[in-house]
């Protein structure tokens, strides 16, 4: 049996747990909106047409923030198409996903849904086919109290109170040749700073996200971030990161180590942002918005290609996740928590049906995919401060990431409440790990809960017929004695351990 160990010490704090870490994403893509969050004819639909079963799961999952309306969709979107009486809204082609957009759901509907879901909105503006003027228009419509044409239009459309959206994305993936309005870093940086300055003239307190690279594999990665921030550093608060992972060619060992790449990606963007800070002699630090991350079997979508006609709400990107996918998602959440000093916003893409932790059948049930569970458990349990944890772990060799630790872990500590939590993955495909946690510095008194997500078959899935086939299982074999916690970690597993500690005054 392999062995691994960590030490928890409240002196080694990274940053407070940021609730925006637990964001999600609803894009007008596939069935994310229509038959996802919105289905007026569904048995569970409320008076506004929203599926209450999906709303219940969203709240259970602990989602705190949702990015909207895209994604690639936003670069061809006309926000004004989605407001006003539905019968007057134009039907448009969505070039990003080769679909037909009915515009039955728009800004006001999304904000009604967000309030029901108890989430903060993260709004994206179209800097692909539009620009500064349209960004100012949607900002006025959304946030101005009243007395202007667009704010009065919002009130006439049923939203008398302003939506008060504070967090805005300045476009989406503008480095990507697939993006409508794709441009160079210099061109985008100038457009972003112009848009940011104009938006801040109306609301100085907005929080603005500049587009970073669409992924660390992009040929302009690093140079893109540096150039954009050289233009826009003073006017933006965040630079974005996007990353998706999948298992290639049956290489499960590499796939389970995906968070190693995520760590490297974050560290590289931090280094680039701080290089620009040093070069400019700036005092503020740019934070990171990891506003697209997940497991996504993109190669399958690329092989199949987009629809050949223009369907409404087609079944696109509906990955059905297995146990190993959930372990990787849990590990990526460990990475995000570990970088809480700089990653202060994050969105798992996406929420429902489209590469999502929640699946919903038209007219039928909604259920939790395997990836739902590590997100929900982490969002519920991670509180207080993130502790710096260095795992003493054996390593194994991977084809994509080289030599990596078998065990990865992070911890959180809520001193006033007398609570701590440890989140840990065993990446080994075959071997159990005996895990030892030194909790003496925390004054740990007892294990209050321990749950593990595992199965002998790493490819087992949840389905509508068997929605709870894979779920965290409570354990009573975690032993705490003389300040040391010991338990075994099964192969391909994610575990959370909750501890009661000596509360501080």
Which residues form the catalytic set? 173, 292
Q: Residue 306: enclosing H or E segment and its boundaries? A: none
Q: Is 208 within 8 Å of 230 (Cβ atoms)? A: no
**Bridge partners of residue 288, in order along the sequence:** 239, 343
| DSSP-based three-state secondary structure for 495 | strand
Tell me the C-alpha distance between 419 and 414, whole Å: 5
Q: Residue 499: enclosing H or E segment and its boundaries? A: strand 493-500
Alpha carbon distance, N-terminus to C-terminus of the chain: 41
List the structure tokens of 367: 């259920």
The residue length of the chain stands at 505
List the structure tokens of 198: 């104009």
Tell me the C-alpha distance between 78 and 71, whole Å: 14
Crossing angle between the packed helical segments 185-202 and 132-143, to the nearest 10 degrees:
30
| DSSP-based three-state secondary structure for 340 | coil
Tell me the C-alpha distance between 465 and 365, whole Å: 9
Tell me the C-alpha distance between 254 and 100, whole Å: 38
Report the candidate in 72, 15, 64 with the shortest Cα–Cα distance to residue 351.
Answer: 64
**Is beta strand 433-438 parallel, antiparallel or unpaired with respect to 2-7?**
parallel
* Alpha-carbon separation of residue 465 from 57, 326, 366, 472 (angstroms): 17, 19, 11, 18
């Amino acid at each position: 049996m392999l062995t691994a160990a960590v030490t928890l010490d409240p002196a080694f704090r990274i940053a407070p747990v940021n609730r925006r870490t637990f964001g999600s994403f609803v894009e007008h893509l596939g069935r994310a909106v229509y038959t996802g969050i919105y289905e007026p004819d569904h048995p569970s639909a409320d008076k506004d047409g929203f599926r209450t079963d999906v709303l219940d799961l969203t709240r259970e999952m602990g989602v705190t923030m949702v990015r909207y309306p895209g994604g690639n969709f936003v670069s061809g979107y006309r926000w004004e198409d989605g407001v006003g009486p539905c019968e007057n809204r134009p039907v448009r082609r969505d070039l990003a996903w080769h679909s037909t957009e009915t515009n039955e759901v728009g800004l006001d509907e999304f904000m009604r849904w967000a309030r029901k879901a108890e989430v903060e909105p993260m709004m994206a503006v179209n800097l692909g086919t539009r620009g500064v003027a349209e960004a100012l228009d949607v900002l006025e419509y959304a946030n101005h109290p009243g007395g202007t044409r667009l704010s009065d239009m919002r009130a006439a459309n049923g939203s008398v109170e302003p939506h008060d959206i504070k967090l805005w994305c300045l476009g989406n993936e503008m480095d990507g040749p697939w993006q409508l309005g794709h441009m160079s870093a210099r061109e985008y940086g100038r457009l972003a700073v112009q848009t940011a300055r104009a938006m801040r003239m109306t609301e100085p307190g907005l929080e603005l996200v500049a587009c970073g690279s669409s992924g660390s594999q992009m040929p302009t990665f690093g140079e893109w971030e540096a150039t954009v921030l050289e233009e826009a550093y003073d006017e933006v608060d965040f630079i974005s990161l996007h990353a998706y992972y999948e298992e290639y060619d049956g290489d499960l060992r590499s796939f389970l180590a995906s968070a190693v790449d995520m760590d490297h990606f974050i560290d590289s963007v931090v280094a680039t942002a701080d290089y620009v800070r040093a070069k400019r002699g700036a005092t503020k630090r740019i934070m990171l918005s990891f506003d697209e991350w997940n497991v996504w079997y993109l190669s399958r979508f690329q092989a199949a290609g987009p629809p050949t006609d223009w369907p409404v709400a087609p079944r696109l990107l509906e990955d059905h996740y297995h146990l190993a996918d959930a372990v990787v998602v849990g590990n990526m959440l460990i990475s995000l928590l570990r970088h809480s000093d700089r990653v202060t916003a994050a969105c798992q893409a996406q929420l429902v049906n489209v590469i999502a932790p929640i699946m919903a059948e038209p007219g039928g049930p909604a259920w939790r995919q395997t990836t739902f569970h590590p997100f929900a458990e982490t969002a519920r349990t991670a509180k207080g401060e993130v502790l710096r944890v260095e795992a003493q772990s054996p390593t194994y060799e991977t084809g994509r990431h080289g030599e990596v630790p078998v065990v990865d872990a992070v911890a959180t500590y809520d001193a006033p409440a007398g609570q701590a939590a440890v989140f840990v993955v065993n990446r080994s495909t075959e071997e159990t790990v005996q895990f030892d946690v030194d909790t003496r510095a925390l004054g740990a008194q007892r294990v209050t809960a321990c749950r593990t997500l595992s199965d002998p078959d790493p490819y087992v899935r949840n389905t509508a017929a068997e929605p709870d086939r894979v779920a965290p299982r409570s354990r009573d074999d975690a032993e705490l004695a003389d300040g040391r916690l010991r338990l075994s970690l099964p192969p391909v597993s994610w575990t959370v351990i909750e501890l009661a500690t000596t509360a501080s005054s």
